[in-house]
Structure 1
């Protein structure tokens, strides 16, 4: 079976894209704007039918003999069995593990890869690989098409994605968005710092820490996601059969969980 071509392979590179990889002084702001628009359009078109996605984040450096890797495989598998698509950053480590579990469950396995100078390859467990040049366009896809985040131990990138989601929830740009941290031993020192420094210093509100759930097993992670997304999933199935084309129901409203 031949390898599925990625969107990047489906068309020749445009002159703008080639110039954007040249020295910075060669690219112009209008060229960058056109590329940003193309990336957003590509992501929206490719993911338009993803209604029950869950994003799984974690370190790309986690080896496949690590207990966290095996836990991420099981989490991806149980999310898939519960009817969710699994969305990751498309790389190795925890991302590969979650995508692997999703594929084993027969669920849609999505990878939103980012172009980096060291060009990390996408993992082999992707049904739908998408490639992005800009981090921010990629983040839009995570928030737009995921109904929750499950976050394993990771580095700067994982923390960036975690705090991006926390900020969007805190500022009410998104709502009803479960944030599940897997691995209490890893995350407790961070939560202690948030409580002892930010909360005690009046930098965040008392209820802000309630936005985060901490679990240590796949069953609890999936249960936390399912409990938070159950009302939305019920609403998407409770539709009245249309009497005419004009009465066709719109796609389920994602405004409860997505950014504007």
Structure 2
């Protein structure tokens, strides 16, 4: 009876060589003029671009530096995590209206009292109120919704001067990235009310208008509250912008400008059954 000789640990047989060649030439590219082909997942590397260490070797290698926490691949995971948290937390919210406006509006101002009434009246329609979670108009709308027993949502943003989520929010999140936060506003709102505000409010307003104008979302009713505040902007839009053909004649009709709290609420909730 003949006993087949087993290969020693330091020997390579033909099967080993074929496995190794498959690792270096996966996909049937063959031998390139640039040398061997090496694949890292979907990435193809040749010649001097081939790393000295495999992905697994780098993963398991001790690394006392934390620089990797600040590199773009890690940021991608943070962004993904924010989307997952947002979708997971808001998926069961139900119909909702976003109310935008300045954090600088004080409780003794008419705009604050108007936002308070908006939040209350929207909540009494069994519709959630979503704000940026901060003070001013946001606090007023959240307070109105919370006192009416409704869903009062605050989607905050990590900023050096922000004061955190206001005390009237009963569902709150804080985001690192503006674009993730704005996705949540637009994905989960069936209407928008915009009260007086600065650059952040204008950013949110034109984000909504752009998505509706370009048909990236179904038409979302948008009400701008306080005619005196918004009229100058829309005089320019209906004049200089429209007259030069930079928007269509129909685009300004994407918004309703009003001084009536009830009309603003009716417009913002008009698409909610």
Structure 2 portions without partners, runs of 5+: 1-65
CA shift, 1:26, in A, is 6.1
Instruction: Please report how far the alpha carbon of residue 118 of structure 1 lies from its aligned counterpart in structure 2 after TM superposition.
Output: 2.0
Residue 77 of structure 1 corresponds to which residue in structure 2?
120
Where relative contact order (Cα < 8 A, 6+ residues apart) is larger, the structure is 1
CA distance in 1, matches of 2:239, 2:262: 30
Which of 104, 107, 113 matches 2:150?
107
Q: What CA distance in whole angstroms lies between the structure 1 residues aligned with 2:220 and 2:107?
A: 29
Are the equivalent residues in 2 in contact too, given 1:78–1:218 (CA < 8 A)?
no
**Do the aligned residues in 2 keep the contact of 1:215 with 1:221 (CA within 8 Å)?**
yes
| Matched length | 208
CA RMSD of aligned residues (A): 1.4
Q: Does 1:135 align with 2:201?
A: no
Question: What CA distance in whole angstroms lies between the structure 2 residues aligned with 1:64 and 1:52?
Answer: 27
Larger radius of gyration: 2
Structure 1 residue 119 displacement after superposition: 3.5
Q: Could you report, residue by residue, the CA deviation over 1:42-67 in whole angstroms, capped at 9, with x for unpaired residues?
A: 00000011221100000000000001
Using the size of structure 2 for normalisation, the TM-score is 0.74
Which of the numbers 34, 41, 47 marks the counterpart of 2:77? 34
SS at match of 1:176: coil
Q: Secondary structure at the match of 1:220?
A: helix
CA contact (8 A) 2:191 2:269 kept: no
Whole-Å separation in 1 of the counterparts to 2:183 and 2:234: 26
Query: Equivalents in 2 of 1:215, 1:105: separation in Å?
Result: 24
Q: Is the 8 A contact 2:96 2:127 kept in 1?
A: yes
* TM-score (structure 1 length as normaliser): 0.78
**Which 4+ residue blocks in structure 1 deviate beyond 3 angstroms?**
none
Among 121, 131, 146, the residue aligned to 1:88: 131
Q: Is the Cα contact below 8 Å between 1:91 and 1:122 reproduced in 2?
A: yes
